A and B are shown apart, each in its own frame.
Chain A
Amino acid sequence: MRPDQKKLILLFSLVSLFICYSFYLYQPGLDRQHLPSAIADKGKKIWQEKNCAACHQIYGLGGYLGPDLTNIYSTRTRAHIRAFLKSGTSIMPDFKLSDEEITQLTAYLQSIDATGVAAPHQLKVNNDGTLER
């Protein structure tokens, strides 16, 4: 066997596995039932343009200054959400959002809420240490 041949075989095996796994995950269908509407997609754009993730989390991923917003749509009223988005808080700036933008952002929050519940205390722990929803 040539020098490095074993190492190259191992490297190409790992790379092949990685590529297969990646492309499997790229396929649409990981969660097809929760596709957002066009209005929610516009809301997502606003979420990104205003960098909301700097302070807020979705499923525990994001900033730490503000609360997790995964299920804000089902735990607060629409009016409550709109009021926050309209004028900000003592910490959150007023982003001067128009009524249309507030509607779009609210639709995005609604679409996130529909994907599941982000409550770690509700996750069941299996004997092997894995989590069950």
Chain B
Amino acid sequence: MVLLKDKGLKNKNALFFSYFLAALFLFLLALLFGIIGAFQYIVPGLFKDGLSFEKIRPLHVSSAVFWIILGACGTVSYYLHTLRQGLWSLRLLRLQWYLMATAILFILMSYMAGIFGGREYWEFHPVLAVPIALAWLLFLINIFASVKIFRRQPVYIWMWLTGVVFFFYTYMESYLWLIPSFRANVVQDMTIQWKSYGSMVGGWNMLIYGSGICLMDKISGNEKYSRSKMAFALYFLGLFNLMFNWGHHIYTLPVPKYIQYISYSVSMTELLLLGRIIYYWRGSLTTAQKHYHLLAYRFLFAADLWVFLTLMLAIAMSVPAINRYTHGTHITVAHTMGATIGINSLMLLSFVMDIAAIGSEKIKRQISRALYMAVGALLVFWLSLILAGITKAYWQMHPEGVPFSTMMQKLRPYFIVFLLSGISLASALIYIISHVLSVLCIRIGCVFPRIEEK
């Protein structure tokens, strides 16, 4: 399949589309492995001998993380290339694609072979971390070289530049455990690990949220918001949180108290973000209605709803007294799912919708219906995890000799709802992805177009 050679392709953007094709394919894999994992909660011991949970979980997590990372790299590169002065080097972008695609393939194969990095939660063998780091370094060079002039830039350029640097730094930081003195102590090792992962998520969020603002500029046709004081105030608030609010992951560990104080107080500044969302809710509704015909806007609007829900949950979990209940329960999973599916994935899909530029009204209607189904299913999915988490939290706080297995039996009804809503969510998303993949395949001029655009 010709993906990355510019010659002979129908579309000059084929290189960017190849990022989205790979990212969407990984998203499909993440959904598939997610469903298998959910089945393993209902049928304990399912595929125990060949595809047990310690394989399925990293397959699911890494597919999802790589969907987000590849999608974010493709989006930032595409917007820089088409909306700004152009990307510095397409050759570098192509090399980055090859490095990442090869590494991802080997990472997924290594899980199947039972070779792990064994870190919680995004893990693979350290050798395979090298090509990913190299690929990211190429991306970093390309983005900085593309921006060229650093003065008077809109906020999304600041977000992309800081996001790309912080991701690289925290990614390297997450491998400090390879140095014996860093892994010698369990508590310190876990502290550094969660410091790096907590900030790394903030790094890729900077890329995605920045792209969201860039897309809003494109839709509205002006840079009023992206150059406003409010946009920069929120950017610095986000950066402040990226750097210092990771401590809520380790409140219950025997770590120095100052980590708790710093993280707790920094996290509370997120209330300003929440207040801003509520304040602008009416305004955003009006804008949504104004641009209702745009698929990209519908996905962004859905993501906006999930920002609100996820942020509320995140703020609650950042209060140590509440974290004592939620930590180690499925409420944490609900938060992760809200953030990765509700915010990151919906935003990335909105960029893909914008870039794919689907023309057919029939397909637009079908995708919109699938989006409503996905949002509804995600809400049920999210609530089932929260209810399972509350039940586990009660068990954790009232240790009256009830065994773990008995507690898990009590969670079974929630897991069944979780599985069914998960299947509905995956079906709706697979429907959306298959349409977008078909359109991208037509645009790129490659194989097996399923639908013809009219």
Contacts and interface: CB of A to CB of B under 8 A. Distances in A.
Interface string B242-256: 011000011111111
Contacts of B261: 130
A83 to B, nearest CB: 16
B205 interface: no
Interface in B117-161: 117-121, 123, 150-152, 158
Interface in A1-56: 3-4, 7, 10-11, 14, 17-18, 21-22, 25-26, 28, 30-32, 34-36, 41, 44, 47-55
Contact of A17 (B52, B182, B186, B243): B243
Contacts of A97: none
Interface string B79-121: 0000000000000000000000000000000000000111111
B176 interface: yes
A93 B49 contact: yes
A58 interface: yes
A70 to B, nearest CB: 9
Nearest 5 CB-CB pairings of A with B: A48-B118, A60-B328, A116-B254, A54-B54, A51-B116
A100 B87 CA distance: 55
For this complex, into which size category does the number of interface residues on chain B fall?
Answer: 35 or more
19 contacts: A7-B232, A7-B236, A21-B262, A22-B173, A25-B192, A26-B176, A26-B192, A30-B191, A34-B187, A41-B183, A47-B118, A50-B118, A53-B121, A53-B123, A54-B53, A59-B190, A129-B319, A130-B257, A130-B264
A31 B330 CA distance: 29
Contact of A28 (B116, B181, B186): B181
B368 interface: no
Given A121-B396, A131-B320, A59 B236 contact: no
Interface stretch (B2-10, B38-46, B286-294, B357-365): B38-46
DSSP majority for the B interface? helix
Interface of B: 40-41, 44-45, 48-49, 52-55, 57-58, 116-121, 123, 150-152, 158, 162, 173, 176, 180-188, 190-192, 194-195, 232, 236, 239-240, 243-244, 249-257, 260-262, 264, 319-321, 323-325, 327-328, 330, 333, 396-399, 404
Interface residues of A, number: 59
Nearest to B180: A41
A47 to B, nearest CB: 6
B48 A91 contact: yes
Interface of A: 3-4, 7, 10-11, 14, 17-18, 21-22, 25-26, 28, 30-32, 34-36, 41, 44, 47-55, 57-68, 90-91, 93, 111-112, 115-116, 118-121, 123, 125, 129-131, 133
